[in-house]
Amino acid sequence: MKIIIPSIDEIIEINKKVGGETISRGDLEFLITKIESKYADKDLKKQMAKIAAILWMDIIQKHPFIDGNKRTATEAVMLFLQKNNFALETPLAGKVYVSLSIANNETRYEELVKWIYDRLKEVK
């Protein structure tokens, strides 16, 4: 199965919907390249969790938008999962908590991958 990654333009469009404005398209280009260069995990669910974690963390921590980075990151992750027939089974409060913990540097990449993996469900 080929994994579908949201395009830079799709991520920018998400940010526009939350009232933001791009300040660093280069950071987004680097993010997509970083994801595309990752080796494919034999476990598709694990690979999905790894890519979702990269998307979530990099958008929040690299701050490529003037405003709405946490909301954009969360929506970009949901779009990524949806495009690949997966869903994150957690309430909105869980997504908000994770976004804030990433922004406050309270969550490491490995912890986020596990958190996502534990809540990922394949959607048919």
Q: Does a structural domain hold residue 102?
A: yes
The CATH number linked to 79 is 1.10.3290.10
For residue 28, tell me if it sits in a domain.
Answer: yes
Q: How many domains does the chain have?
A: 1
Q: Give tens-digit pLDDT for 22-74.
A: 888 888 998 988 888 776 668 889 999 999 999 999 999 999 999 999 999 99
Integer Rg of the chain from CA: 13
Residue 20 has pLDDT above 90, yes or no: no
Could you tell me the pLDDT band of residue 124, with boundaries at 50, 70 and 90? confident
Is 3 within a domain?
Answer: no
41-44: long-range pairs with CB below 8 Å, 24+:
44/1
- What pLDDT is stored for residue 33 in this prediction? 87
Cβ of 67: how many Cβ atoms within 10 Å?
14
pTM of structure: 0.90
Residue 1 lies inside a defined structural domain of this protein: no
- What percent of the chain is modeled with pLDDT above 70? 96
Amino acid 18: pLDDT: 86
In a domain, 96, yes or no: yes
Q: Are 32 and 8 in contact (CB under 8 A)?
A: yes
